[in-house]
Amino acid sequence: MVNQIDEIYEHILRADRVLEGVIHRTPLDKTRTFSEMTKSDIYLKLENLQKTGSFKARGAYYKISNLPVKKKRRGVIAASAGNHAQGVAYAAKMANTHAKIVMPIFAPIAKILATRSYGAEVILHGYVFDDSLKKALEIAEVEERTFIHAFDDEYIIAGQGTIGLEILRDLPNPDIIIVPIGGGGLISGISIAVKKRNPNVKVIGVQSKAFPAAYELKKKVSIENKAWSTIADGIAVKKPGQITSEIINEMVDDIILVDDNDISRAIFLLLERGKILAEGAGAISVGALISGQLDVEGKNVVAVISGGNIDFTLLSKIISRESIRMKRLVKIRTIIPDRPGSLSKILSLLAEARMNIIDIITERYDFRAPPFEASLEIIIEVPEEKKLQELLSSIRGQDYQVEIEEV
């Protein structure tokens, strides 16, 4: 294993030169918000600003650029419903070779269009990723195309490892680097790049509780009753690779698990406080920080934001969910007389309190209200708890019974 790690490290150094002008050297941004929350110095490695919106283009290009001319002529193929698809498509275009990407038929249309925009031919096949993978391998054999693995490949790992070199250039002595783990290519490359130069840096992996395969291998445990899905779909991998598993066991200091609540909160806070758009897999490193599982006080900590390709429908749900959790969106319920002018009286109180109304629902046939009254539910935006309590007091002062309900 030592020889393989040394070999990959040499590839990382070469990849760093090969990728010059092909990918972005993404910023390492110090964040006041998360630094204050954790009493440490937190830096975000913003791979969400990378070409194609994630780190995947690094490894894909280094792999394809090292193919013999004959193999480049025959083209490459990959199976993916997400970031790997776009990374391979972009890398193939930059390397002047043709790419086919097999995606499940229900892959998001935005990701299909993005992959095609980089010049790849998209083949929709199967209902799940495994179906697409099987089809991609069949095409690879028939057409003699090179299959580009998403993570279990030395060249892929080396390309991702260039992130580690960039981190050390901008912050020579970090104490901790937190890295998302799916198949393990990203953390394998970063851990080799960093520990070869500074073995004192701790590399901490983070996985979703729903897909803890690397955690189970590292800790030699088996977790029962796992969730069936996660908003961190980019790292929803059932099993890390053979190469990456060995590197993780050898080089990674620890792995922790984070649930979707902390990931959701991290996405929301990154967007609101940092104006940083991160997908679930990209935000999970910050989710690890705010979960309170890591002792980072007084340390220099880097959290890798691995990607920003989040579905906007999901993002909308997360914003609404977090707004409700933080009581910025609140539903109030009361009973009003079923006669003209009753609703306007309540609305005038809301206007005086400067509350923005999101939705109003009146129900004359609510069994909880007497026949001559109607139930009223109003969803409002609340700037702060104090203002909410003042509003409730003013409504109750008009002889209305008002309560807060779950949205």
Residues 382, 257: Cα–Cα separation, whole Å: 33
Kindly report the length of the chain.
Answer: 407
144: left (phi over 0), alpha (psi -120 to 50) or beta: left
The interaxial angle of helices 385-396 and 342-352, nearest 10 deg, is 150
Q: Are strands 329-337 and 402-405 parallel, antiparallel or unpaired?
A: antiparallel
**Phi, psi angle pair for 335, to nearest 5°:** -115, 130
Instruction: Return the closest-CA partner of residue 205 out of 142, 275, 288, 299.
Output: 288
Considering 208, 291, 306, 375, which one is annotated as catalytic? 306
CA distance 156 to 266: 28
Indicate which residue of 45, 51, 56, 63 is catalytic: 56
Within its chain, how far is the Cα of 374 from the centroid? 44
**Cβ-based neighbour number of residue 199 at 10 Å:** 9
Short-list 290, 305, 167, CA closest to 234? 305
240 DSSP assignment? -
* Backbone φ and ψ of 254, nearest 5°: -165, 160
Please state the φ and ψ torsions of residue 161, each to the nearest 5 degrees.
Answer: -65, -20
- Both tokens of residue 67? 């193919």
Give strand ranges (E) for 146-221.
146-147, 176-180, 202-208
* CA atoms within 13 A of residue 80's CA, in its CB half-sphere: 30
Could you give the CA distance from residue 10 to residue 300 in angstroms, rounded to a whole number?
Answer: 27
* Catalytic residue status for 387: no
Q: Is the dihedral of CA 239, 269, 170, 294 positive or negative?
A: negative
Task: Name the one residue in this structure whose structure tokens are 């993005």.
Answer: 114
- Tell me how many degrees the CA angle 161-38-223 measures, rounded to the nearest 5: 65
> Is 162 within 8 Å of 13 (Cβ atoms)?
no
Interior/surface letters 284-298, b for 16+ CB within 10 angstroms, e for the rest:
bbbbbbbbebbebee
Asked if 56 is an active-site residue, the reply is: yes
Which pair of structure tokens corresponds to residue 390?
A: 């003042």
The catalytic site residues sit at 56, 306
